[in-house]
């Protein structure tokens, strides 16, 4: 989140950072070192933040604004390497299965939550059952669908949980064996389950979570208790603050004592604050700063870039919302009328890579050229557009105004006007949360900005959560039974090459149906203040707080 974690990369959101905020925070010394009550030196950093769409609960957060925070606070069974995203054991001592259906998970004894209680098997089983239980309305419930008995926890076909409540409250596929052991039984063979278990939705919850009787666990979400290296100590409209957990049990600690995410609604403001050394880090840059590599000269020796599992696209509104996009020829025409190479060159100065499919190049199984409809061909595009009868009225392209998307969206709009002869207009929401709410409520016609930041390093993660029937991040309501079958077959394959081949066949169907038009893959750029000597960006486009060294 992720987001999963990471639906539709948010880039920035929320209330504008107040002028004069320093990188150290009130009361700190200019060098970033202050003194705590015990006289020990304390270190702190500030990182550009944005407004989470949902409460800070692992199964409720599936976008970047909240996901970046939970990444630093939650510990899971699996940890992803900060350099390669390779999975390794974290809370788990072992995760084994003889058939990729029945899994035995053993926990490391003595692993602590931030309230001092021990992480036990029931904390995983109870958390997963709560997340999957339909009436709880968790956006990441879908990730538990692979577990046997998930269907019994869902509301009836009407979706009315009061009229048609779930048959059960616990999945039959989860069993607590003892305090440090539980088993997972999947509906069918799921060869990459172990890799998935590092995603935030699979985090455990302490007993205090279940004792909270507030609606939607709102009280707990205001000050979550997790098991990761940082504790969330304050959540307000202007900032989210995390303090280092002194009794953290894992092998992946942070190096600074405090991390503050001041909330910005202007990407340029965050960028300028880092340049001026008033903010320590920003993980996203305004498009204008990329032109001529301005960002490198604005922050000399204070920049970095990383190839990340981030994919940007434009989604077509569902046909039930916008009948003008129902014809596949219309969607093909719009995609082929966009010169992605020109936009990545002119707007992004080559800092984006033209997408040729729906899967990021950073994961095993990526296949170049999967999207033949992404090849710029204005002549064929106009032919298909005319055959589809033209788009009625003005085609809207929706973006969030706090993410620096206006320039490229206008470029896309202009190309559609010039190459297809349609009327086009860019529509801007005040922030990312508003955009996501409109998407979730199916309120927008035309196209809207979409993005995906991988939750776990797998080709499956770029396909199933976004395009499987009923998947939580399936904003276009895409449904193709053949696609769903291929996903199931791929998940059951025990050989990686065989699984990848099936996933690639599923991706080929997206080229046929075009529910989403890929735009570009993201090589993430970041800058930092002169207080920072070193910081790493992970393949998930997040900062690794275990790598931070102060100057």
Name the residue ranges covered by the structural domains of the chain. Answer: 78-207, 307-524
Q: How many CB atoms lie within 10 A of CB 165?
A: 15
119-142 pLDDT, tens per residue? 999 999 999 999 999 999 998 998
Closest C-alpha to 103, from 27, 173, 7: 173
**Whether 257 contacts 38, CB under 8 Å:** no
| Helix, coil or strand: residue 283 | coil
Strands 181-185 and 102-107: antiparallel
| Lookup result for tokens 């590092």 | 198
Class of domain 78-207: alpha beta
Q: CA-based Rg of the chain, rounded to a whole angstrom?
A: 23
Quote the pLDDT of residue 41: 56
398-444 pLDDT, tens per residue? 999 877 788 999 999 999 999 999 999 999 998 888 898 899 999 99
| Helix, coil or strand: residue 311 | strand
| Helix, coil or strand: residue 202 | helix
∠ CA 427-428-429, nearest 5°, is 130
What residues in the chain have per-residue pLDDT under 50?
A: 1-33, 35-40
**Whether 534 contacts 547, CB under 8 Å:** yes
**Whether 226 contacts 114, CB under 8 Å:** yes
Strands across the sheet with 92-96, in order?
92-96, 102-107, 181-185, 174-178
∠ CA 318-319-324, nearest 5°, is 120
Quote the pLDDT of residue 432: 82
How many angstroms separate the CA atoms of 109 and 87, rounded?
20
According to CATH, the superfamily of the domain at 307-524 is: Dipeptide-binding Protein; Domain 3 (3.10.105.10)
Q: How many CB atoms lie within 10 A of CB 549?
A: 10
Quote the pLDDT of residue 254: 96
> CA torsion angle for 226, 475, 542, 303 (degrees, to 10)?
-160
Output the furthest CA–CA distance in the chain (Å, rounded).
75
Quote the pLDDT of residue 496: 86
Across-strand partners of 8? none
| Lookup result for tokens 């699996």 | 78
Backbone angles phi, psi at 403, to 5 degrees: -115, 5
Instruction: Please count the helices (runs of H) and the strands (runs of E) in the chain.
Output: 16, 20
Across-strand partners of 243? 231, 258
Quote the pLDDT of residue 416: 98
């Amino acid at each position: 989140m992720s987001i999963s974690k990471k639906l539709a990369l948010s880039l920035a959101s929320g209330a504008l950072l107040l002028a004069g905020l320093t990188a150290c925070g009130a009361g700190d010394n200019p060098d970033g070192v202050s003194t705590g009550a015990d006289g020990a030196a304390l270190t702190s950093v500030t990182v550009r933040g944005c407004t989470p769409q949902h409460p800070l609960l692992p199964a409720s957060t599936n976008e970047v604004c909240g996901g970046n925070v939970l990444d630093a606070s939650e510990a899971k069974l699996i940890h992803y390497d900060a350099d390669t995203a390779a999975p390794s054991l974290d809370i788990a001592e072992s995760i084994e299965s003889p058939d990729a259906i029945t899994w035995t998970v053993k926990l490391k004894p003595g692993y602590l939550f931030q309230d001092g209680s021990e992480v036990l098997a029931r904390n995983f089983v109870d958390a997963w059952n709560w997340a999957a239980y339909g009436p709880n309305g968790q956006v990441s419930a879908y990730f538990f669908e692979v577990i046997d008995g998930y269907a019994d926890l869902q509301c009836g076909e009407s979706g009315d949980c009061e009229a048609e409540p779930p048959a059960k409250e616990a999945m039959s596929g989860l069993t607590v064996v003892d305090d440090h052991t539980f088993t997972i039984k999947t509906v069918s063979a799921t060869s990459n389950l172990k890799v998935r278990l590092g995603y935030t939705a699979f985090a455990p919850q302490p007993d205090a979570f279940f004792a909270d009787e507030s609606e939607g666990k709102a009280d707990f979400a205001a000050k979550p208790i997790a098991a990761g290296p940082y504790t969330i100590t304050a959540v307000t409209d202007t900032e989210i603050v995390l303090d280092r957990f002194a009794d953290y049990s894992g092998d992946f600690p942070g190096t600074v004592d405090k991390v503050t995410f001041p909330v910005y609604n202007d990407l340029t403001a965050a960028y300028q604050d880092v340049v001026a050394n008033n903010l320590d880090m920003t993980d996203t840059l305004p498009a204008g700063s990329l032109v001529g590599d301005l960002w490198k000269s604005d922050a000399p020796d204070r920049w970095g870039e990383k190839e990340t599992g981030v994919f940007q696209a434009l989604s077509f509104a569902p046909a039930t919302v916008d009948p003008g996009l129902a014809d596949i020829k219309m969607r093909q025409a719009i995609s082929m009328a966009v010169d992605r190479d020109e936009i990545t060159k002119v707007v992004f100065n080559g800092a984006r890579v033209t997408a040729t499919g729906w899967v990021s190049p950073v994961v095993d199984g990526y296949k170049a050229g999967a999207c033949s409809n992404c090849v710029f061909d204005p002549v064929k595009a106009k032919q298909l557009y005319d055959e589809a009868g033209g788009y009625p009225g003005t085609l809207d392209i929706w973006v969030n105004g706090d993410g620096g998307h206006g320039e490229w969206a206008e470029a896309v709009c202009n190309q559609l006007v010039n190459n297809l002869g349609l009327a086009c207009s860019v529509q801007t929401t005040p922030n990312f949360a508003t955009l996501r709410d409109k998407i979730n409520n199916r309120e927008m016609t035309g196209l809207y900005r979409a993005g995906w930041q991988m939750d776990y390093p797998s080709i499956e993660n770029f396909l199933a959560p976004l395009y499987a029937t009923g998947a939580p991040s399936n904003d276009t309501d895409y449904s193709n039974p053949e696609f769903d079958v291929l996903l199931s077959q791929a998940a059951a394959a025990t050989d990686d090459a065989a699984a990848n081949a099936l996933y690639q066949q599923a991706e080929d169907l997206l080229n046929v149906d075009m529910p989403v038009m890929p735009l570009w893959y993201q090589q993430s750029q970041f800058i930092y203040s002169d207080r920072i000597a070193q910081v790493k960006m992970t393949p998930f486009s997040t900062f690794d707080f275990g790598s931070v060294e102060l100057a």
